[in-house]
Amino acid sequence: MRWLILAFSSLTWAADPVVVVEQRCLKCHGGEKVSAGLDLTKAGSARIVERVESGEMPLGGPRLGPEEVAAVKAWVAAGSKPLTASAKKGFWAFRPVVKPAVPQGAAHPIDAFLLEKLQAKGLGFAPKADDRTLLRRLAFDLTGMPPEKPLPYSDAVEAFLASPRYGERWGRHWLDVVRFGETDGGEHNFERALAWPYRDYVIEALNADKPYPEFLREQIAGDLIAPADPKIVRATGFLVAGPWDSVSAELNKDVAMKATARMDELDDMVTTTMHTFQAMTANCARCHDHKFDPIPTKDYYKLTGVFQSVGFGTREVVSAEAKAAFEKAASPLRAALKAVEQRIADAEDPVRASYLRTAMRAFVAERAKDPRRIPLNPVFNTNRLRGGGELRLVITGHDGPVAKLAWLTVGGREIRGWEAAQKATPDAPVFLPLGTAAQGSEMAWATDETLARKPGLINVYRVEANQGGNGWRWPVRSTTSAWWRRRFRPRQTRIWCPS
């Protein structure tokens, strides 16, 4: 963890003198004017300490307190480094937290602060709500639900805070802050079935009143703090709760685009970490320094360095013993499941075969003979035609010298073992006429019969229809078949976490 804290502390305005000088001196020494030729944003002065100790400075203002004097002394001792333009702006977020004096006039300090501002505008509090209204407000606020029975106010506060509904309701706000989603986003936008353990972590943390420092640290580095404790490791789902461009990250072969996609991932982690825990943006510094942004580009890239080791993916979160126990219990169930799956497959296969007509039946039959020799293809695809008419496959990208198609069926026709005559490019596509089919027809195809990406695999394509001779349109919507998804869905106890 030390490296992480260091990386952050190098960014904070740990030095109080900056704040003191900024608030008490700059008005006359570098802000609106430069009195006595002393511009404290450019250089310090050896005489500073004398002047503040004697109480001569700040001119006309209250003397600095002993702590403020000590801070100024430390600043001078450290060479009174010039203040930056951003410090000059005096951002409230970088000032130390101070406890203000509570105004008079109300029993509760929060009410006292509110009343002070209201009274300054000639206003006061609205009349007190009756007990029933108050209880309803409290219940909706803390649990998101109406109250079930009348309760005295103070009992209700405790009861609602103790309710599991409290964490569920308020956890949602946190999940919004950290841009939690259960799909990848991007072009594929796959469902992220294993994101929920992080969601549960947030809910449980709120319900258990987890102290904020722990809550913060666990989300940024839970896997380093307690690598063997799944309950804490799952907190790091925070880092990867945002969008993930799986296409650029996994499929793209262009080195520059891949690198850009990776920087986008890191940018998302830096941005969310800074938004969430520092309440400020840092991502503007990705491309250039700004005059008044306290985060320079250099610090932005230091921050991305913190997350360099974080990748997107799932990781196992079970201990070895728990896993062994699980396997022991699961293996007879798996065997039973396999038998059921076989029965389902036996029942489904004939239906599927007739559904996808002649060629599909041939494909299934070939698989049945030896599924290992002809495994189900990851690029096997089914599409339902959004429009009908005369069809053509437009190929604009593929592996290898020419595009190849193992098998395709549409409108009762079948094409097997097709090979293009020349290379296809986005500018010079290769067209494969498919005959005619009605709107809503199912089109099924396998571009390649093995799991390996054989040369010729078509990876950029579209299907166009010429309806009634009105010109070529793009009528196909890709629908990944439920059958395909079932075979490939992972069943391990994994969570969406940095891998």
User: Taking the complex as a whole, how short is the minimal distance between the CB of residue 283 and ligand HEC, in angstroms?
Assistant: 6
With respect to ligand HEC, which residue has the nearer C-beta, 23 or 331?
A: 23
Candidates 18, 19, 52, 410: give the one binding ligand HEC (CB under 6 A).
52
With respect to ligand HEC, which residue has the nearer C-beta, 290 or 477?
A: 290
Q: Which of residues 7-46 bind ligand HEC (CB under 6 A)?
A: 24-25, 27-29, 35-36, 38, 45
Phi, psi of 445 (to 5 degrees): -160, 155
Candidates 89, 179, 286, 453: give the one binding ligand HEC (CB under 6 A).
286
Which of 5-13, 54-62, 354-362, 406-414 is the region at the interface with ligand HEC (rule: CB under 6 A)?
Answer: 54-62
With respect to ligand HEC, which residue has the nearer C-beta, 24 or 398?
A: 24
With respect to ligand HEC, which residue has the nearer C-beta, 16 or 366?
A: 16
Q: Is 60 in the site for ligand HEC (CB under 6 A)?
A: yes
Residues 131, 153: contact at Cβ < 8 Å?
A: yes
> Measured between alpha carbons, how far is 161 from 141 in angstroms, rounded to an integer?
10
User: Taking the complex as a whole, how short is the minimal distance between the CB of residue 61 and ligand HEC, in angstroms?
Assistant: 6
Candidates 121, 288, 369, 372: give the one binding ligand HEC (CB under 6 A).
288
Q: Which of residues 246-285 bind ligand HEC (CB under 6 A)?
A: 283-284
User: Taking the complex as a whole, how short is the minimal distance between the CB of residue 303 and ligand HEC, in angstroms?
Assistant: 14
User: Taking the complex as a whole, how short is the minimal distance between the CB of residue 79 and ligand HEC, in angstroms?
Assistant: 15
Nearest Cα neighbor of 273 from 229, 245, 303, 313 is: 303
With respect to ligand HEC, which residue has the nearer C-beta, 51 or 88?
A: 51
With respect to ligand HEC, which residue has the nearer C-beta, 269 or 443?
A: 269
Q: Is 47 in the site for ligand HEC (CB under 6 A)?
A: yes
Q: Is 61 in the site for ligand HEC (CB under 6 A)?
A: yes
Q: Is 58 in the site for ligand HEC (CB under 6 A)?
A: yes
Whether the bond between 66 and the residue before it is cis, its omega within 30 degrees of 0, is no
With respect to ligand HEC, which residue has the nearer C-beta, 61 or 412?
A: 61
User: Taking the complex as a whole, how short is the minimal distance between the CB of residue 17 and ligand HEC, in angstroms?
Assistant: 10
Which of 57-65, 210-218, 352-360, 448-456 is the region at the interface with ligand HEC (rule: CB under 6 A)?
Answer: 57-65
Give the residues lining the site for ligand HEC (CB under 6 A): 24-25, 27-29, 35-36, 38, 45, 47-48, 51-52, 56-61, 64, 283-284, 286-288, 290
